[in-house]
Amino acid sequence: MTLDILRNFIQSSNINFLYGSGISRPYLSTLGNIEKWLTKVAEDDGKETYKDVIKASLYKAYCDGVILKNHYFYHDKDFLETKSAYTDFFSVCNELMNKRNAQLLNKQINLFTTNIDLLAEETLEKSGIELNDGFRGTLKPAYNESNFQISLSKSSMQFHKQAEVPMFNLIKVHGAVNWKEQDGTIRSDTMLMYYVQQALDKIDKDYFVNLYKTNGTEKTYDEVKTEADDIALHLPDNAYDKFFDAYNQIVMINPTKDKFRTSVLDYHFYELMRIYSNALERENSLLFVMGFSFADEHIAQITKRAADTNPTLQVVVFAYSDKDLDTYKQNLGIEHGCSNNNILILTPSSFKESNQDKYKELCELVENFNLKTINLLFKEISKNIHSGYGTK
C-alpha cells in the first residue's frame, strides 16, 4: 500500500488505533513467556507450594518490568526514547485531525490498547492535547464508558462560532495500573503501585525464582519449576499473601490464556470490548494496529468478524518485521485471505516495494515498524493533507 492511499483513507475515515506492548518499548518489557507460564501454573495439578512460588515469581517479573515503572517514571535513556515516540505520535495525529478536510466526520481518535501503563497520560499531561481516559470528576475521578461519547468544541469570542477540538479516547480494554474498584465503581488510584512495592520489599529475594539465566536467556518452565520446588522446601507460611492481596487490588486482566473466560463477564471489560466492536462496525472506519500481534484470541476474533461483515472497514497492521507476517495471518485466521480483502499487513519490505519510487528517502529509514518509524510515515502523510482534499 502506498502512502498516498493511506493518506486518502485518513482523510475520509473514522480513525481508530489498536496498540500493544511493543509500542511501549524499550522502557517497558514485553510479556515474554509470562503469559504462557501463568497459564501452565493454573493448569498444573501439582502441590500448591511450588505453584505459589512460580506464580509469585511471574507476578514479580511483571511488576518489575511493567507495573512498578509507572509509579515513578525513571527518566533514563529508555524512558526518554519511548516518551519521545509517544509525543511525536500524539502531535502528528493531532495535526492530521486538524488539517484533514472531513466536515462530516468528528475529530475523535479511538486508541484501543491492551497496555496497562500510564505512558499516554504522562505524555499528554502538559501538552495541551485533549485526552479522554474515561474518568470524570475532580476529587475522586470515577470511570464510566459513557464518557467516551463526549466531544469537545471551542467557540470564538468574537463570532461565537464553534469548532470541534481533536480528542483522543484512550480505551484500555485490559484495565490499568491505576484502576481500583470501590463500591462497585472504578476509581483512579496511583498509590496501588506503592502498596505492591511495599509488599514486595518485605519478601526475601531468595523466595523468588529468577526467570533468566546469567547469559540473559529465559529459563525453561521445567528449570523454573525445579528451582521453585527447592524454594518451597524452606518457604515460610503465607509468604506471599500480602503481595498477592496488593497485586489483586489493581483492576486489570491478568496475562493468562484464560483471561477472558473469567473476565469477559465483568461489566467494564465487556463494555470496553463492545465499544471496540462497535467502532469497527461503523461505516468508513479505519483501524491501525501497532505493536500488537493478535495473540489475544478474543480481540482477533472481533477484528476478523468486523472485517468480514463491514466492507467499508480498512484494517492496516504494521508488522514489526518481515518474519512476523505469517504470525499475523495465523492469529487473524487469514492465511487464505479475508472475504472483503480489507485487512492489510504492512511489512517493512512490502512498504518499501510500494513506495520506493516516490518516497525513497523515507524508505531508507524503515528497517522495522516500531512507533518511531510509524511516526515518520504519518508525518509524511501530514505534509500532504490540506483543507483542499487531494491538492498539494
Q: Which pLDDT score, from 0 to 100, does residue 74 have? A: 83
* pLDDT, tens digit, 9 for 90 and up, residues 340-362: 999 999 999 999 999 999 999 99
State pTM to two decimals: 0.90
> Which one-letter DSSP state was computed for residue 236?
P
Of 45-49, 184-188, 285-289, 340-344, which range is least confident? 45-49
Residue 267 maps to a domain? yes
C-beta pairs of 216-223 under 8 Å, 24+ apart in sequence: 218/32, 218/33, 221/33, 221/36, 221/37, 221/40
Residue 179 maps to a domain? yes
Q: Which pLDDT score, from 0 to 100, does residue 36 have? A: 80
Residue 238 maps to a domain? no
**CB atoms near residue 297 (< 10 Å):** 13
Percent of the chain topping pLDDT 70: 91
Domain count, the chain: 1
**Mean pLDDT of the region 280-305:** 94
Residue 324 maps to a domain? yes
Residue 391 maps to a domain? no
Residue 174 maps to a domain? yes
**Mean pLDDT of the region 190-215:** 94
**Mean pLDDT of the region 220-241:** 92
What domain range is 9 assigned to?
A: 3-193+248-383
Q: Strand ranges (DSSP E) for 156-241? A: 162-165, 167-172, 175-182, 185-188
What radius of gyration do the chain's Cα atoms show? 22
Q: Which pLDDT score, from 0 to 100, does residue 164 have? A: 67
Is 340:305 a contact under the CB 8 Å cutoff? no
Residue 239 maps to a domain? no
